[in-house]
Chains A and B, each alone.
Chain A
Amino acid sequence: MKKNIITKLCLILIILALAILIDMPSGPNLKFWFIDKKLDIVQGLDLAGGVHIEYEADFSKIETANQKQALAGAINVIEKRVNGLGVSEPTIRETSYGDKKGISVELAGIKNPKEALDTIGKTAELTFEEQVIDPSQGGGDGSAPGWNLTGLTGAHLAKADVTFSGANSQSINNKPQISLKFNAEGARRFGEITARNIGKPVAIVLDGALVSAPTVQNEISAGDAVITGEFTLKGARELALQLNSGALPVPLKVVSERSIGATLGNESIQKSLIAGIIGLLVVFVYMVFYYRLSGLIAGIALIIYTLIVLAIFKLIPITLTLSGIAGFILSIGAAVDANILIFERTKEELKQGNSLQEAIETGFDRAWLSIRDSNMASIITAIILIWLSTGLVRGFAITLLIGILVSMFSAITISKTLMLLILKEKLKK
């Protein structure tokens, strides 16, 4: 019997050591085999600052059969644009509002949400248009009367760069412009277009708005073009990024947006950390006060529990939000509930004349049913919340769920082992 207890104690100590190791701020990153994972607390939007945007997709011009593909394509385009911004760990995923589909974008830790919004949300559909041959016939399928689409679009671009118009001269007026490099198909088409339009304008149109319409001087077969216009440097960079990432297959409309400044997040972290630590202390003191030695054991188990939960947050990793911290702190209060059920039960067994060892064993066994059944209700509500909600609420539900599950484990294993070990030693004296 004693050997078994010591074995369990060793297991607990190993788990505790691993948890502490992972919890350290300068802790290790997992690196063995194919796993190369940075272990860090991932901070959500409301702690790190940043922006969360919900877009609804406008499928009015897309056939039902192609909508799924268009949405996936749009997600892909947004991912490219976000990567161009240099945001760490963006979250981009499909979402739905009833029968409507959309995309959810979360960029934590970004300093200027406005720039991100400008870059991400625009369709950035680039088209090249030429004049109809006989204007007297009217028509034309371009963005304005008298213009035809050429079939050359942003899809044929290989690259877009910001350059300056005076780069090859000593001119004082170095204006930003965008140099376009077409792929093979694009170069061929552009060659044909310029060949048949020498002396005529070719329009460069972005999202239905004319950017410029230079007159073709000669056939251009090298697959290069330049967009000039009254660009600011920032505007040129944004456009280049958008063109490089490709056009959105489907227009997106903002239906929800949350933009949080970093200072608000910092305050929340500090307050929440203090609340968490003091909450832990309050529960600890109360347990020791009410249950004395048993309460001390529960308190120690509670600390081990906290370390394990934090380690799990890092390992998965959980994106921690303000509400997630609230869920975690709440689960600290709920974590000792199992211990209370066990201690009360053990007291009853002692009153019935059982030995200390028997009382502990029976107390744990019989309390388990209540612990399982009562926690199951919270697990049910947490799962419902995770399944049905987004962002803030989901963070709360996930941390609460993890907290409850770990608390059930720690009550049955850690508290029981510590209790048997310590009380057994105490009995000998």
Chain B
Amino acid sequence: MNLLGRKKIWYLAISGIIILTGIISLLIFKLRLGIDFVGGSIIEIETKQNTNFSNDKIKQALADKNIENLSIYQIGEGGWVLKMKEIDENKKNEIINAIKNKVGESEERRFETVGPTVSQNLRQKSIFAIILAMFAIIFYIALAFRRLPKFLSPWKFGISAIIALVHDLLIVLGAFSILSHFWGYEIDSMFITALLTILGFSVHDTIVVFDRIRENFHSNSPYSGLDIESVANYSLVQTMGRSLNTSLTIILVLIVMLTLGGNTIQPFIVAMLIGMITGTYSSIFIATPILVFWHRK
């Protein structure tokens, strides 16, 4: 099986198309930011005996409350989420009482409010965390692979891995702009967590392949005299089984969580799933080809 021949770079084209689609989607649909990042308030209520609730009735009940940026949507059979600009405790109580008086009895399940101070700080921290994680991984891979034959560069190993990771993140972001538009998924703290976790997990397979490449270049290996393309190709073949299996166990667990877990972390699980699948693919078809092409110059 030859995965790295010059005539077989169709997968780079596929990735390019997917990423381009994602970028276009990001520009058209944009990402829906949660209150973590833009501030605001969320009230979640649940009705049990009433079938009287609807978007319109709730909206009418609150018409005189001067609520800015109010949006209402349903969760499950009896759950309703009201999202609006930031309010305080008293205003929240007013709203719940108004709904109680004009629509029907309900139980308050959740109230979240994030002011501009916190949301701004979270935005900065999130960007910083992602950038820091990327540099930390580059540095660590360069460190881990520092003992290499002279013609191999540890930094190229690290940067090739990160390019694959950026590829993964872009695909997840593009997918989420579509999911935001059609399913109402939001970008919140847990989404950033998913991105960072994808960074950590996706690079597992890349490191396994790179580790094998390094080992195959050692003098006692039967492949040590070959060029980097042949060695890398063979390393990919050798490690294919474990790459697929290690990702599959995590993907299986994510599927279980998606079907059985709580609603609140479902967007997180979806992001993780997309990231793990893309990460497995990019470790094989993105990171290693880039490494090879880069060293070939």
Q: Is the CB of A333 within 8 A of B88?
A: no
Cα of A382 to Cα of B252 in the assembled complex, Å: 21
Q: Is the CB of B257 within 8 A of A279?
A: yes
Q: Is the CB of B238 within 8 A of A282?
A: no
Contacts of A316 in B (CB 8 A): none
Q: Is the CB of A267 within 8 A of B253?
A: no
Contact count band on A: 35 or more
Q: Which residue of A lies closest to B268 (CB)?
A: A326
Cα of A384 to Cα of B252 in the assembled complex, Å: 26
Cα of A312 to Cα of B136 in the assembled complex, Å: 28
Q: Which residue of B lies closest to A335 (CB)?
A: B249
At the interface with chain B, which of A174-182, A212-220, A240-248, A385-393? A385-393
Q: Is the CB of A268 within 8 A of B264?
A: yes
State whether A396 and B193 are in contact (beta carbons under 8 Å apart), knowing that A257-B111, A370-B207, A380-B140 are contacts in the complex.
yes
Cα of A397 to Cα of B113 in the assembled complex, Å: 23
Digit string of B247-274 for contact with A (CB within 8 Å is 1, else 0)?
0111111101100111011001100100
Q: Is the CB of B113 within 8 A of A257?
A: yes
Q: Is A103 located at the chain interface by the 8 A CB criterion?
A: no
At the interface with chain B, which of A3-11, A60-68, A371-379? A371-379
Cα of A172 to Cα of B158 in the assembled complex, Å: 82
Q: Is the CB of B110 within 8 A of A260?
A: yes
CB distance from A229 to the nearest CB of B (A): 21
Q: Is B65 located at the chain interface by the 8 A CB criterion?
A: no
In B61-99, the 8 Å CB interface with A consists of 88-89, 93
Q: Is B227 located at the chain interface by the 8 A CB criterion?
A: no
Cα of A271 to Cα of B141 in the assembled complex, Å: 38
Cα of A97 to Cα of B121 in the assembled complex, Å: 6
Cα of A275 to Cα of B260 in the assembled complex, Å: 5
Q: Is the CB of A340 within 8 A of B140?
A: no
Cα of A382 to Cα of B196 in the assembled complex, Å: 8
Q: Is the CB of B201 within 8 A of A329?
A: no
In A386-424, the 8 Å CB interface with B consists of 388-389, 392-393, 396-397, 400
Q: Is the CB of B242 within 8 A of A333?
A: no
Q: Is the CB of A322 within 8 A of B265?
A: yes
Contacts of A267 in B (CB 8 A): 262
Digit string of A119-133 for contact with B (CB within 8 Å is 1, else 0)?
000000000000000
Cα of A333 to Cα of B125 in the assembled complex, Å: 28
Query: How many residues on the B side are at the interface (Cβ–Cβ under 8 A)?
Result: 70
Q: Is the CB of A263 within 8 A of B109?
A: yes
Contacts of B109 in A (CB 8 A): 260-261, 263-264
CB distance from A107 to the nearest CB of B (A): 14
Q: Which residue of B lies closest to A379 (CB)?
A: B200
Q: Is A46 located at the chain interface by the 8 A CB criterion?
A: yes
Q: Is the CB of A384 within 8 A of B260?
A: no
Q: Is the CB of A397 within 8 A of B193?
A: yes
Q: Is B101 located at the chain interface by the 8 A CB criterion?
A: no
In A11-65, the 8 Å CB interface with B consists of 46, 54, 56
Most chain A beta-carbon contacts within 10 A, residue among B124, B141, B205, B261: B261
Q: Is the CB of B253 within 8 A of A333?
A: yes
Q: Is the CB of B272 within 8 A of A384?
A: no
Q: Is the CB of A381 within 8 A of B107?
A: no
Q: Is A167 located at the chain interface by the 8 A CB criterion?
A: no
- CB-contact partner of B242 in A282, A323, A344, A381, under 8 A: A344
Q: Is the CB of B189 within 8 A of A392?
A: yes
Q: Which residue of B lies closest to A96 (CB)?
A: B121
Q: Is the CB of B253 within 8 A of A332?
A: yes
At the interface with chain A, which of B5-13, B126-134, B178-186, B289-297? B126-134
CB distance from B38 to the nearest CB of A (A): 13
Digit string of A320-362 for contact with B (CB within 8 Å is 1, else 0)?
0011001001101110110011001000100000000000000
Cα of A235 to Cα of B192 in the assembled complex, Å: 42
Contacts of A323 in B (CB 8 A): 190, 193, 265, 268
Q: Is B197 located at the chain interface by the 8 A CB criterion?
A: yes
In A242-281, the 8 Å CB interface with B consists of 254-261, 263-264, 267-268, 271-272, 274-275, 278-279
Q: Is the CB of A381 within 8 A of B211?
A: no
State whether A330 and B199 are in contact (beta carbons under 8 Å apart), knowing that A271-B261, A377-B137, A389-B125 are contacts in the complex.
no
Contacts of A397 in B (CB 8 A): 193
Digit string of A63-80 for contact with B (CB within 8 Å is 1, else 0)?
000000000000000000
Q: Is B208 located at the chain interface by the 8 A CB criterion?
A: yes
Q: Which residue of B lies closest to A271 (CB)?
A: B262
Q: Is the CB of A258 within 8 A of B112?
A: yes
Q: Is the CB of A384 within 8 A of B203?
A: no
Q: Is B60 located at the chain interface by the 8 A CB criterion?
A: no
Q: Is A369 located at the chain interface by the 8 A CB criterion?
A: yes
Contacts of B256 in A (CB 8 A): 275, 278-279, 282, 329
Residues of A within 8 A of B (CB): 46, 54, 56, 97-98, 100, 113-114, 117, 254-261, 263-264, 267-268, 271-272, 274-275, 278-279, 282-283, 286-287, 290, 322-323, 326, 329-330, 332-334, 336-337, 340-341, 344, 348, 366, 369-370, 373-382, 384-385, 388-389, 392-393, 396-397, 400
Extra contacts besides A257-B111, A344-B242 (9): CB < 8 Å: A258-B112, A259-B110, A261-B108, A323-B193, A330-B197, A333-B252, A370-B212, A385-B129, A393-B189
Chain A to chain B: the 7 pairs with minimum beta-carbon distance, closest first: A333-B253, A378-B200, A381-B200, A255-B115, A333-B250, A374-B204, A275-B260
In the complex, 16 of the A-B residue pairs with CB atoms within 8 angstroms, ordered by the A residue number, are A256-B114, A263-B109, A271-B261, A275-B256, A279-B252, A323-B265, A326-B257, A326-B265, A330-B250, A337-B250, A344-B241, A373-B207, A374-B205, A377-B201, A381-B196, A393-B189
